[in-house]
Amino acid sequence: MRSLLAKILLAQVITVVLALLVVMSITRSSLNRGFVEFLERQEAGILNVTAPALAQLYRERGSWAFVLDHPDSWHRILRHTRNLQPRRGEHRAEQRPRPPGREAAVPSPADPPLRWLGSMDRLHMRERLFLLDAEHAFVAGAPVEDRTDLTLQAVLVDGEAVGWIGFAPMGKVLPPEAQRFLLGQAKVLSVSLLVALGLAALLGFLLARHLSRPVRALAATVAKLSDGQYDERASATGRDEIGMLAQAVNRLAETLEKNRTARRRWMADIAHELRTPVAILKGEIEALADGVRQPDGQKLSSLAEEVDQLAVLIEDLQTLALSDAGALNLHREPLEINALVQQVAEAFTERLAARGIVLETNLPGTVTLSADPQRLRQLIHNLLENCARYVMAGGWVKVALARTASGVSLSVEDSGPGVPSGQLEHLFDRFFRLEQSRSRVGGGSGLGLSICRNIVEAHGGRIQARRGDSGGLLIIIELPD
């Protein structure tokens, strides 16, 4: 019962059963009320037919004595009035006065026992009809003790009420034929319930199978992805929620595959970056140990440079690892970023000038924001270090700072060589290097710009690389206040 198919099927069946039970309850209640209203309308019609007939008899007899003295006459009177009822679709014509000497005779007990007032007989109305005199005294018919709240029809003779007729209350029990009709309707509804339940089960099964099939396929795809088969893809043909889920699974698979490829490449790059200085250190130390080379100041300085290179690489890797883990702690404080940029730029002026590169700064007045001064110093240092390594001799570097509506904009532009447009999007990837001027010959590890992106994003900012107007590289950084 834990499968999706079983749950959908069960939900479908329960919904249909509850709906049909509600419909049955409402239908039965409506039929009960409808029958009562129907009987009341029938009673009103019967009273309208019987009252004129009784009035005619009273006019001919002059009193109700013909009923009081002969109780059996009441049933014969009702049999006689049956012929006076209008047929369905017809209106009862006005009662014509009888010719003199031809008064309506009350049927005698010797008359054949014909069925009288058929519709009343079927619904047992005969036993409930009663007759009262003008003073509401009982004359004939069903005995009624409480006559309040009863509907009475006047028996009028020459505009004067000489009697009253009505029906005794039905009570809460419907007539037998009404009960039989309702029982038949209940049986019909029960059969309808079983048929609808079967159809609901069939449709629910088909729907559940239709929905569970792609879900099972997605589960199989996710299981393969969990086993490391990142080339597996789900079939995303539909446009419904399951199709959207399949597309999301495929995007996840692509991301996992890219991350695995990047991780493998990153591990290979790390091994390569560590192998070079370690190999140099190993060779120099072995040469010194074998006496091939003497431990003079030049050799020690060379070993120190390789150790420094290893320390920088390890520091960069640690920074990236902290950033990936969300543990790149920022110690924000009010910071005059224009002064910070000026300090780092001055530290690079002499180094750039040694290669004939002119460093220009365009810094406005005091510009403050809340940021981590150490991380921003590392950011600006990496950008200018990148320029010092790769900008061609005799070129220039421009650093500009501006206040924006949402924060601060910092741009660093150089004279070239530039970066091809197709590789700009990979410029902030780890260990990414161009094969030409921006190669490892400059000595970089390929992690500097990646660290820059992580620092900017940790501050809630954005960094992007473009091709400058002069053909060089333009990096724009936007930091919020």
11 or 413, higher pLDDT? 413
CATH class in words for 333-480: alpha beta
Q: What is the pLDDT confidence band of residue 87, given thresholds at 50, 70 and 90?
A: very low
Instruction: Sketch the domain layout of the chain as residue ranges.
Output: 1-86+100-227, 241-324, 333-480
The per-residue pLDDT for 340 is 92
Q: What is the pLDDT confidence band of residue 74, given thresholds at 50, 70 and 90?
A: confident
The residue-averaged pLDDT of 192-197 equals 80
The per-residue pLDDT for 358 is 93
Q: What is the percent of the chain where pLDDT is above 90?
A: 12
Q: Is the pLDDT of residue 185 over 80?
A: no
41 or 164, higher pLDDT? 164
The per-residue pLDDT for 476 is 94
Q: What is the pLDDT confidence band of residue 274, given thresholds at 50, 70 and 90?
A: confident
pLDDT in tens, 409-448: 999 999 978 888 777 877 887 777 664 444 444 555 677 8
Supply the CATH classification number for the domain 241-324. 1.10.287.130
Q: Is the pLDDT of residue 211 over 50?
A: yes
Q: Read off the pTM.
A: 0.49
Longest dimension (CA), the chain: 164
What integer best gives the mean pLDDT of the chain? Answer: 77
The residue-averaged pLDDT of 273-280 equals 78
3 or 333, higher pLDDT? 333
Q: What is the pLDDT confidence band of residue 86, given thresholds at 50, 70 and 90?
A: very low
The per-residue pLDDT for 177 is 66
The per-residue pLDDT for 142 is 82
**Any idea which of 4-8, 369-373, 449-453 has the lowest mean pLDDT?**
4-8
Q: What is the pLDDT confidence band of residue 5, given thresholds at 50, 70 and 90?
A: low
89 or 3, higher pLDDT? 3
The residue-averaged pLDDT of 140-147 equals 79
The residue-averaged pLDDT of 253-264 equals 82
